[in-house]
Structure 1
Amino acid sequence: MKLIKSVALAAGVLSLASGAFAQDDTFKVGMVTYLTGDWGYPGTSTKRSLEIAAETYGQVLGKDIELVIVDAQNPNNQIPEAQRLMAQDIKYFIQGYNLVPVPLARYVVDNGGLMADGTSWFPDLTDEGGYDNYFMFMPSWKVFSQTLVEYSLKFGEENLGKKPEDLKIALIGNPIMSYVGDEAARILTEMGLEPAIHETYGNDIADFTPLIIKMREAGIDIVIPYQLGSDAELYRRQAAGLGHTPPILLAAGVGYDQPEFADMGDAALGSMSLSYTVPEMREDFAPGLKEFKERYQELYGEQPVTHGLQTFATAMAFFQMVDQAGSFDVAAVSQTMADTVIEHGNLPNYWGVKFDENHNNMYANPLIIGQWVPDEDGKPVYRVVYPEELAVEEPIIPYFQN
């Protein structure tokens, strides 16, 4: 096992350790992510996963991989931290877990760096186009919204026996995630299937009772929540208490596929969530997934979260592309990345890689659905239930009987 130099530094400490990563005999890769605060948990998973990727891959063009991972703490600190890293001649970055990823990515590429983004879900630089050194390994948020609609209509017809025009769909969520709900509503409306309810509530919501009653009275068949952790928990607890959830709940990820969702007990059961490929999917379709999970468990005593897997797979693909470029020159690496095609089933996250003209990954599919189902003791566990080739269990649809 090769020695991988990984330096994790809090904001304000980086300059004190400049000697730790100013070596010319290493391939330096930076990451700016949340390691503390409300979003420190998923950010820490991206950090750990990048470290395991560097350890697993070993060397790039004969040089040890030297990681410099800094704690952004909040969105306002991202660019100052990137400035400090780039001042130390760090040109290559793997995107960490960031709620506002665009300013950081734009700063890196505008200043001669390259960003490999395997975690962003919010609107990203591929929406703008024209950034030669930004590569989005994930599907865009528009694809996410489109898939929410497609899966909802599929399940409505196949599992509820209702044609699309007869389905009553509700879209509910908070302002931070509203772009996902708004895009799904736009797609449905263009199809002549206007949502029965489309409601974006305030961040300070304290009671979902009126909205739950509204959905019950409207006879909603499918609810698509676009929620973060706190409002997802409040909604699910109140819906369970009032005894009403539409027959199908298909959430837009985030609050619904985090490990702590299970802490709600019975209130978590039945909820489905659209997501990227996740560590819980079938391992035999994703080479390296099993070993990654085992190493993560060995080091940290727990399993990685979704963003951890995506970071690991992105880093493994990126290291391979730099090797293929045969040079550490940013322009050469960028061209190699633009030309590279990796077919499905060759990376630990199952997805392939093929970038379009804006460097959006056209092979970042399929999106999966996970469902919280009872284990042998009745406690909620997260299982991949769709699509079939990645599923470990059959979905329970409809789960909710009112």
Structure 2
Amino acid sequence: MEKYNSLIGFIRKTFNSEDFIPLHAPHFGGNEKKYVNETIDSTFVSSVGEFVNRFEKEIAQYTGAKYGIATVNGTSALHMAMLVTGVQQNDEVLTQSLTFIATANAISYIGAHPVFVDVDRDTMGLSPKALQNFLEKNGKKGADGFTYNNTTGRRIAACIPMHTFGLPSRIDEIAAICEEWNLVLIEDAAESLGSIYKGQQSGRFGKIGTFSFNGNKTITCGGGGALITDDEAIAKRAKHLTTQAKIPHPWKFQHDEIGYNYRMPNLNAALICAQMEQLDRFIDNKRQLAGLYDNFFKNSDIEFVKEIEDAKANYWFNAIIVENEQERDLLLTETNNAGVMTRPIWDLMSSLPMFKNCQHDGLENSIWLSERVVNLPSSFRP
């Protein structure tokens, strides 16, 4: 008898299916087809269209930000966030090694260097204590007001924490540390739209917050991303750069600097507007699922990862922590062989060939988690 038969049976019962159960499937149960058809009928299917403008207003309103800028994906939103906040080539950006590769890739697009700081075990997000320790050990404030790395001599320009699987990190503490050391705080909220910490929406604690609407996110438009900010100048510049830095004119093609083809197409925006209408229902449904998982694992030696105090997570992906790497691999093998999709957490960025020489702080918790975390099916259940 397979060790994880009871878990497999529980998941099948919970999702009411004997077929293949994916990790996270999109759910289109609202106005998606209606809005997409409206877009097709309008012929405005590219980056100019009413749904793009509508979505930017809605993402700002939902999160409580003053401005929203729609982008083609979450990675481009991160790249743009660094560009418009002054991160430059050869700067350093503090982030976590336990993250999806987009975070580190976007830093590299600037020509900047990721520096990896450890996470907390309970949030799986950047640890304020580890961040403060790293800066006290390696940081030095220059006469120009910026912080420099004693080891490399490079300016530490920004910090990008990521809310892992939609679980809020201790982002208020991280924000206070960034302010103390004059670092731009950019929240990678790709996975945490709708998550709340101490009464405030994810993405609202830094200069900019960024989101992703990839096919497996809580709400999706196939691709798509966004950045939010309260800073009018940053919002205007981000919108300008994401539209190829084109100066508005009835017929002339005038561009005043290097721009980027990062604007979300209207077709995608039609989808995401329909998904936004269902976001709160999706989150309520996913929180109910998290409660079922939590109850299932209560009397086992497997830990279900829950939101910390003062947090309300969207539970984008449900995660468990098993005893060791061997147990993790056994669980992954048995569940996937049974047609129930599970996945390990990402390989650490510091273990990848392009980032293996980046500075880090030892990453004790990151390594520990990378050997033990498994994601379970987390789709919306109609």
Tell me which protein shows more helix as a share of its residues: 1
TM over 0.5: same fold? no
Q: Provide the TM-score with structure 1 as the length reference.
A: 0.28
- Greater relative contact order (Cα < 8 A, sep 6+): 2
TM-score, normalised by the number of residues in structure 2: 0.29
